[in-house]
Amino acid sequence: MLYGRFARYYDLIYSGKDYEKETRIIMDLVKRAGVKGRDLLDVGCGTGRHAVLLSEKGFKVTGIDLSPEMLKIARKRSKKVRFLQGDMRTFDLGKEFDVIICMFSVIHYNRHLRDLEKTLRNFYRHLKTGGLLIFDMGFNEERMSWMEDGTSHVLSRSDGDVDLVRFDKIKKGAGKVEFYMGYILFKNGRFYFGKEKHVLGSFKTTDVKKLTERIGFKTKLYTYDLKPWRKTSKKYVIFSCVKRS
Over residues 104-134, the pLDDT tens digits come to: 999 999 999 999 999 999 999 999 999 999 9
Over residues 218-239, the pLDDT tens digits come to: 999 999 999 999 988 888 999 9
Residues 47 and 106 in one domain: yes
For residue 93, tell me if it sits in a domain.
yes
Q: What CATH code is carried by the domain that includes residue 72?
A: 3.40.50.150
Residue pair 240/134 in contact by the 8 Å Cβ criterion: yes
Residue 53 confidence class, pLDDT cut points 50, 70, 90? very high
> What is the domain range of residue 164?
143-200
Residues 127 and 107 in one domain: yes
Residues 80 and 105 in one domain: yes
Q: 39-72 burial, b for 16+ CB within 10 Å, e for fewer? A: bbbbbbbbbbbbbbbbbeeebbbbbbbbbebbbe
Residues 45 and 153 in one domain: no
DSSP SS3 for 22:
helix
For residue 1, tell me if it sits in a domain.
no
DSSP SS3 for 24:
helix
Residue 2 confidence class, pLDDT cut points 50, 70, 90? low
Residues 62 and 152 in one domain: no
Residues 173 and 234 in one domain: no
Q: In the sheet where 190-201 sits, what is the strand order?
A: 152-158, 162-173, 176-187, 190-201
Residue pair 103/83 in contact by the 8 Å Cβ criterion: no
Residues 221 and 233 in one domain: yes
